[in-house]
């Protein structure tokens, strides 16, 4: 028996798992409908796929949500997991699910997939026969993704960096790399049985003034960590940044560089897709304004040429959105995409060159780290600040980089910290900003720049 299989048996022999049947699951994946695989839909490239967000505690609520989504002409269904399951606290998830079922009150902020189990959940997934995307935020997702794939969920979001640095203060990063290695291998192995399982990275990170160079570097590294374990279908992603031009430049550069770096490790055969998140920062409380913002995001996603868009709702600023608000966004976004025809092609060569130079310089510094494996190189690079994510709460993050918006609302680096931004690019970035102000007014500008969409 392989080491991986031994580990799988340990992970799945858990008091919260009802007799996991490896052979039955493999047979299910082998014979599963192609419609369930988002990789199959990406291959057809017919349209930008629309995927909302959403997860409710009980089976009945989740089922009702999916009915609403299907009526609104959804392309990809989400399954968002509750916070207890994300932290591997299955005991609490179980208790809270019972309370939710008995009291008609939501005691969980998502669907406790491990508690419901794969036999139950699979009934729902195969009934709707649409691709489902697993949305979580889990550093140790081993049991969760086993349960997801066994349920018919063939897209797994996350990664060791993007699910840790924005969400956790002190979960050990080295452990996260090893737990995600397991996830990649299991996805790679199942991918041999039918269409590939798609892995997706979470590009928005902290959604707070993250410069495109940092976003792209982390997307490329999580892609490489996944492809080197044998994954054949991968989505890189980023969120609306606040400047249409910067989003278009980011899209162009990331598209070019995923091909370059995948080819470098002999993985050019893997399918790489681009996902765009509608604005992930603070939303306006005015619901009509929120819809305008959502609409603008859809237009930019089209300009960027995204393969999938992940939506927000008009109730974003007020709490967990209702299924009605969620479905409305899907219908609105589909309508907007249908009427967006004859888009102009925008190219900004200078910005593209600068961004490409920055990303390549950081990637080179990561590869030059003396560690023996890629994940250790990346680990060291985060630890010593070669990669620095603005506003990450994690203790390992250096927090030396400072960013601000220029007059066109592009995110610019005004303090690079230990990140090896080439001097020429650094001067270019700073030249776009008014740096004559004192720190107090710069801090006030940063506060304004973070909340740019609220007024």
Partner 1 sequence: MKVVTGVVGNDIHVVANRLIDLSLQARGYEVFNLGVNTHLEEFFDAAVETGAEVLMISSLNGEAEGWGREVKLLKAKYKNLDDLIMMIGGNLVVGSGNTEDIVARYKKYGFDLVCHQVDLNTGLDLLQDLLEERCKS
Q: Supply the residues annotated as catalytic.
A: 86, 157
Rounded to a whole number of angstroms, the minimum distance from the CB of residue 393 to partner 1 is 4
| 439 touches partner 1 (CB under 8 A) | yes
Site string for partner 1, 202-231 (x = CB under 8 A): ----x-x-----------------------
| 435 touches partner 1 (CB under 8 A) | no
* Choices 25-33, 67-75, 167-175, 403-411; region in contact with partner 1 by CB under 8 A: 167-175
Site string for partner 1, 396-415 (x = CB under 8 A): ---x--x-------------
Using DSSP, state whether 253 is helix, strand or coil. helix
* Choices 192-200, 345-353, 429-437, 446-454; region in contact with partner 1 by CB under 8 A: 446-454
| 393 touches partner 1 (CB under 8 A) | yes
- Rg of the Cα atoms in the chain: 21
Tokens 């309508």 locate to 335
Rounded to a whole number of angstroms, the minimum distance from the CB of residue 115 to partner 1 is 22
Composition of the chain by helix, strand, coil, percent to 5: 50, 10, 40
Among left, alpha and beta (phi > 0; psi -120 to 50; other), residue 359 is alpha
Q: Are 214 and 227 in contact (CB under 8 A)?
A: no
Rounded to a whole number of angstroms, the minimum distance from the CB of residue 103 to partner 1 is 22
Burial of 418 (0-12, 13-18, 19+ CB in 10 A): middle
Q: Are 364 and 349 in contact (CB under 8 A)?
A: no
Provide the token pair at 398.
């250096």
Rounded to a whole number of angstroms, the minimum distance from the CB of residue 448 to partner 1 is 12
| 391 touches partner 1 (CB under 8 A) | yes
State the Cα–Cα distance between residues 251 and 238, nearest whole angstrom.
8
State the Cα–Cα distance between residues 418 and 385, nearest whole angstrom.
5
CA dihedral sign, ordered 97, 102, 106, 110: positive
Site string for partner 1, 169-208 (x = CB under 8 A): xx-----------------------------------x-x
* Choices 5-13, 57-65, 190-198, 433-441; region in contact with partner 1 by CB under 8 A: 433-441
Q: Are 258 and 236 in contact (CB under 8 A)?
A: yes
Q: Which residue lies nearer to partner 1 by CB, 248 or 402?
A: 402
Using DSSP, state whether 134 is helix, strand or coil. strand
Rounded to a whole number of angstroms, the minimum distance from the CB of residue 169 to partner 1 is 4
Which residues bind to partner 1, rule: CB under 8 A? 167, 169-170, 206, 208, 390-393, 395, 399, 402, 438-440, 443-444, 446-447, 450
């Amino acid at each position: 028996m392989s080491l991986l299989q031994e580990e799988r048996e340990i992970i799945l022999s858990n008091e919260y798992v009802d007799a996991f049947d490896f052979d039955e699951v493999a047979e299910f994946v082998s014979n599963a409908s192609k419609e369930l695989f988002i990789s199959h839909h990406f291959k057809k490239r017919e349209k930008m796929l629309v995927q909302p967000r959403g997860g409710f505690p009980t089976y009945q609520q989740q089922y009702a949500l999916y009915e609403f989504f299907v009526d609104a002409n959804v392309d990809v269904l989400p399954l968002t997991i509750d916070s207890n399951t994300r932290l591997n606290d299955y005991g609490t998830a179980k208790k809270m699910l019972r309370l939710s079922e008995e009291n008609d009150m939501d005691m969980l902020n998502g669907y406790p997939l491990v508690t419901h189990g794969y036999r139950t959940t699979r009934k729902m997934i195969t009934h709707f026969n649409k691709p489902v995307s697993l949305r979580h935020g889990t550093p140790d997702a081993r049991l969760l993704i086993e349960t997801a794939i066994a349920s018919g969920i063939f897209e797994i979001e996350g990664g060791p960096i993007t699910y840790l640095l924005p969400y956790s203060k002190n979960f050990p990063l080295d452990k996260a790399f090893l737990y995600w290695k397991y996830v990649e291998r299991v996805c790679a192995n199942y991918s041999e049985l039918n269409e590939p399982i798609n892995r997706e990275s979470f590009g928005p990170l902290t959604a707070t003034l993250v410069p495109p160079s940092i976003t792209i570097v982390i997307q490329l590294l999580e892609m490489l960590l996944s492809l080197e374990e044998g994954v054949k279908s991968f989505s890189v992603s980023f969120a609306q940044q606040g400047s249409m031009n910067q989003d278009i430049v980011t899209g162009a550069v990331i598209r070019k560089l995923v091909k370059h770096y995948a080819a470098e490790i002999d993985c050019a055969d893997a399918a790489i897709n681009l996902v765009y998140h509608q604005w992930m920062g603070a939303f306006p409380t005015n619901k009509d304004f929120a819809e305008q913002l959502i609409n603008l995001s859809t237009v930019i996603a089209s300009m960027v040429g995204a393969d999938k868009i992940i939506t927000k709702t008009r109730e974003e600023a007020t709490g967990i959105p209702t299924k009605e608000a969620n479905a409305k966004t899907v219908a609105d976004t589909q309508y907007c995409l249908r009427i967006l025809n004859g888009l102009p092609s925008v190219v900004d060569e200078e910005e593209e060159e600068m961004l490409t130079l920055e990303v390549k310089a950081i990637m080179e510094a990561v590869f030059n780290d003396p560690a023996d494996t890629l994940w250790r190189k990346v680990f060291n690079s985060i630890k010593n600040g070669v990669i620095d994510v603005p506003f990450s709460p994690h203790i390992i993050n250096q927090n030396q980089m400072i960013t601000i918006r220029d007059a066109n609302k592009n995110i610019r680096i005004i303090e690079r910290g230990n990140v090896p931004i080439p001097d020429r690019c650094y001067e270019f970035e700073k030249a776009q900003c008014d740096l004559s102000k004192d720190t107090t007014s710069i801090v006030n500008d940063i506060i304004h720049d973070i909340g740019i969409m609220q007024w």
